[in-house]
Structure formats: structure tokens, C-alpha cells
Chain A
Amino acid sequence: MALFEFELPNPNTENPQVGLTEADLVQRSASSVPPPARRLTPVAKLIDVSKCIGCKACQAACMEWNDVRPPVGTFEGSYDNPADLTPEMFTLMRFTEWVNPQTQNLEWLIRKDGCMHCEDPGCLKACPAPGAIVQYSNGIVDFVHENCIGCAYCVKGCPFNIPRISQVDHKAYKCTLCSDRVAVGQGPACAKACPTHAITFGTKEEMTKHAEGRIKDLKSRGYENAGLYDPPGVGGTHVMYVLHHADQPQIYAGLPKDPKISAIVQLWKGASKYAGLAAMAAFAGIGFLHYLVKGPNRVTSADERAARQLTEGGGS
């Protein structure tokens, strides 16, 4: 029994026709798509926080593959570099120094932050631009920049605070789960670069199974609350974490404990959309009916005569 399971089988590359096309969409923002004829196997990226050494190779690989170069920043008092996700930095190692109250040990928690690729994506729900955000049947949520209008509604929709709006081209950016690599049977660049295999990629089923082994191992080494982060509030995610303290995800730089699409967003994008159009139609309809039934309110010649009498009387 291997304690350190470094190698996972490479993703399937046997089918060269694999590709993510319009036909693979299951959701498209502000529009509807026909149910896809074929269903791709759901994929997932598994980030094992307990194996991460904080080397930032994933960040470098992400920049390299996506050809983005965040400007040189300034020191903000932590290892986080840059200080936050930016339109040019789709993934970010977030470092937390945490004192475990049970053991009094200082634990250095390092979480690779980025898009979680929710099964029920809040960004897509909030997006007003048809086709600017899409979801493929393998679970990847992708931004289609030619359709993006830069309104930042996705920022409001996201329960993880991930999308960032570029001040250069006014479009939203986030991790694509390397949809272009996955489309040809490759894993994401970050997973490829990770030296400790803290980041692995495969089908969601494989990754869940792999996580189970890791959690068992962590529990055997005293992390009794080790567990998988695959939050059901957003229908599960296609980026999952193995956490040694899964009972309190918020200690990992504010990873939400029970993320959900905000009730405000649900109301804004749900009931108010229909009630709003209905209210406007009702007002216009009532006006039209009133005119049909009651007709215009006209000034009569008697009114004009009265006005003439009044002005002549008052003027002289």
C-alpha cells in the first residue's frame, strides 16, 4: 500500500475527435440550448491542500499556458503574490497561518484559489449577455469573451468571488479549467506543473475515489476531520479540495462553508425579471383599456367660453 500516491493515469487521449463545441453546451447565459445529443463524462480537478508545498508552479504554468503576465506588484505582507486574483491571474495560492487550538501547532494552510466550476454556476445565472458564459456537459464553465459586455454581473453571481473585470478590454476573466487543453484530452496546465501532484485531474468519479484514499490516509495520521470539499449548495463543483480540516473550510483563506448562489441574486434573476415585465405590461395595458372604455378627457367649448369670460371680467 503506497502512502504517497503520486501518479494518476494520464487523461484519455485515444479519441482525437474529443472537443468542446457548441453541441456540448448544457447551459448558455441569457439564452437556451437544446439538450446535447452526447453527454461528456464529467471532469474534475482535485486540489489536495495537504500535499501543497506553496511553490506557485501552478500559477506560473497558468500564466504560461494562458499567455498572461500580471504586472509586477508590491509586497503586501504575505506570501500571496499577487495579493488577489486579477484579470491576468486566474489562480492564486492563498497562504494562511493558523494556530490549531487543539494542538497549539502553527499550521501553514495553502489553498490554490480559482474558479470552482460549479455545477450550478451563479456567474452564468447572473450574466445578461447571450452566450458570454457557457457550461459544457463535462462540467467546465467557460467565459466566451467575444460575447462579454463587461457588466460585472458575474462578479455578483459568483459565491466564491472569482471573476475579475479587465480595465483594458472590459471583459471578465477567470480560470477556464484549461478547456482548450481538456478539449484535446489533456489535463489543465496547473495540474501538469504541480511537482507534488497536489493537483490532479480526471473524471469526477476518479477524482472522488482518489480523494477518498487521500482522506483515509489523512485520518490515519490524526486529521480526523479530513474530508472532500464538493459543496452541494452549488450542485457540487468540478474543482474540489481535499482539506485536512474539512469541518471548517473558512480557515483556508475564507473558503465558504456552505456556498450558494445568493438569495438576492436568485430574486434579481428570478421573480423580479418576470414580475418586472408583467408590471410594465400591466400599466401599459390598463392605460390602453382605460382609453378604450373611457376615452379622452376633452376640453369643451363651454370651458373655453368660461375662460374667456373670466379673463375679460378680470382684465377690465
Chain B
Amino acid sequence: MSTPEVSTRDVAPEDQVHPGDPVTVDRYTAGARINHWITATCLVLLALSGLALFHPSLFFLTVLFGGGQTTRMIHPWIGVVLFFSFFGLFFRFWRLNLWQRSDTVWMEELPAVLNNRDDEHPELVEIGKYNAGQKVVFWGMSLLIIVLISSGLVIWDQYFSQYTTVEQKRLAVLIHSLTAIVIICVWIVHVYAAIWVRGTIPAMTRGRVTGGWAWRHHRKWLRELVSGRPKDENKTATPAE
């Protein structure tokens, strides 16, 4: 059992709890949300244009991008935008996604989570801002995007064809397609989890969740927000005191 007292604080500086009925909790700033949705749009466009060139039965998807030539031309550029956009997300979120011992416990109790019985297990609710599943998605995406951009540059024929041998390009195109499949599967998990765990989507649309959602899924995060909430007497306090 992890004890909240010994671990580092599991809140981001901008997260805030607002008392009321219901309680609301700020989870993502406008900047983080815009950053997220730019990345999300890029990922969807990359999946569509990439799948169009991956399997003949999906070649029709090229019409969404103005034909085969433009699909081939635009796909790598969207990849570059995604890389830098995800870079922004990475630096916003990486610290709170560091793996803790409690995450291993959460993973061991995954069947209870999938059975919607997480609230019956204290180790599954005393969770910081991110649970182990969210952390796996975060680190999975980070790693896969690095592999995708590296292998993608090797097969970006228009600008980089002269820097690698044909054999290296063959390997790169295989790695790129296999990695793309994995990241699409990770993306499916990510989207499904947001639909399945009700109350999650407003975190990324309006930037806030209800107190009940935080209590149910990220109780440690909520507790730390509440205990760290500036009290009236602290408002006048200065570090010099």
C-alpha cells in the first residue's frame, strides 16, 4: 500500500478545486486542451492518410486528402506537426506520469477496474492525477511517436532519399507500418477509456471535471488539491514571514 504522505505531490500547479454543488475541479488549462486537440487532429489525419497507403482496400481514403499524390505529400508534414505538438504535451504531463509503486498495484488489480468495481478497492481509487492505464498510454504514445518520426524520415523520399540505402528504407517502412498499427491500437484504448469512464471527456473539452469524478477515480489527486487549497489566512501570507 502506498501512503500519500511519502510520495510526491500528484497535482499540477494549475489544477484547482472549486467547492460548490457539485464540486468542480480544474484539470486542464486552455493551453493544454488546445495542445491536446491539435495533436489529436494530427493523429486522426495521420491514421487516415497512412492507412490509405497501408492496405489497398483503404486506398479510397486518399480522396479525403485530394488524391494519392497529395496524400503522399501531406502525410509526413502532418507527422512533423504532430511531433512538435506532442512534444508540448510531453513536457506538460511527463512529471505526473512517472511510474510509482502504486501503479504496479493498480495494474495487478486491472480486472477489477475492467469490471467497474474499482470503487471497492482502496488501492484503485487513491490515485494521483493519472492512473497506471493513463500512464501506459502516455509513455506508449511517447515512445511510438519517436519511432514513427525516425522511421518516417527515412522513408520521406522527397527530401531524404539520398541519405539511406534501399535496405534501410525497407526496414524503416516495415517498422513504420507496424508501429503505426500499435499506436492506432493505443489510440483506440485511449478513446474508449474516455467514453467508458463517464465524466472524463469534459476534462479535455471544458477543462474541468466534477468532484465526484475526481473522488471516484483520482482520490489522491483530489485530496492533495483540497489540502493544498489556499486558505483565507494564507492569502496574506508571504514567504518572508
On A, residues with C-beta under 8 Å from B are 30-31, 128-130, 147, 149-153, 155-156, 158, 161, 165, 167, 170, 262, 264-265, 267-268, 272-273, 275-277, 279-280, 283-284, 287, 290-291, 294-301, 303-308, 310-315
Contacts and interface: CB of A to CB of B under 8 A. Distances in A.
**What is the interface of chain B mostly: helix, strand, loop, or mixed?**
helix
24 contacts: A149-B68, A155-B166, A167-B158, A170-B158, A268-B170, A268-B174, A268-B177, A272-B178, A273-B54, A273-B55, A276-B55, A280-B185, A283-B185, A283-B188, A287-B196, A290-B192, A290-B196, A294-B115, A296-B196, A299-B212, A303-B215, A304-B212, A310-B211, A315-B231
B226 A314 contact: yes
Contact of B157 (A128, A152, A276, A311): A152
Contacts of B184: 280, 283
Give the interface size bracket for B toward A.
35 or more
A155 B157 contact: yes
Interface of B: 17, 19, 21-23, 52-56, 59, 62, 67-69, 71-73, 114-116, 118-119, 155, 157-158, 161, 166-167, 169-171, 173-174, 177-178, 181-182, 184-185, 188-189, 192, 195-199, 210-216, 222-223, 226-227, 229, 231
Given A287-B192, A311-B23, A304 B197 contact: no
Contacts of A152: 155, 157, 161, 169
A308 to B, nearest CB: 6
Contact of A31 (B56, B72, B73, B226): B56
A315 B229 contact: yes
A297 B222 contact: no
B29 to A, nearest CB: 21
The 4 tightest CB contacts between A and B, nearest first, are A307-B211, A149-B68, A304-B212, A303-B212
B189 A283 contact: yes
| Most A C-beta atoms less than 10 A away, residue of B17, B119, B173, B210 | B173
A275 B182 CA distance: 11
Contacts of A129: 59, 68
B23 A272 contact: no
Contacts of B174: 264, 267-268, 272
A167 B162 CA distance: 12
Nearest to B185: A283
B216 A303 contact: yes
Contact of A264 (B19, B114, B171, B231): B171
Contact of B215 (A147, A287, A310): A310
Contacts of B216: 299-300, 303
A189 to B, nearest CB: 28
Contacts of B167: 262, 264
Given A297-B197, A303-B215, A156 B23 contact: no
Contacts of B22: 304, 307-308
Nearest to A306: B215
Contacts of B118: 297
Contact of A312 (B19, B52, B189): B19
A156 B93 CA distance: 38
Contacts of A167: 158
B56 A307 contact: no
Contact of B114 (A280, A290, A303, A310): A290
A81 B155 CA distance: 27
Given A129-B59, A283-B185, A315-B231, A149 B71 contact: yes
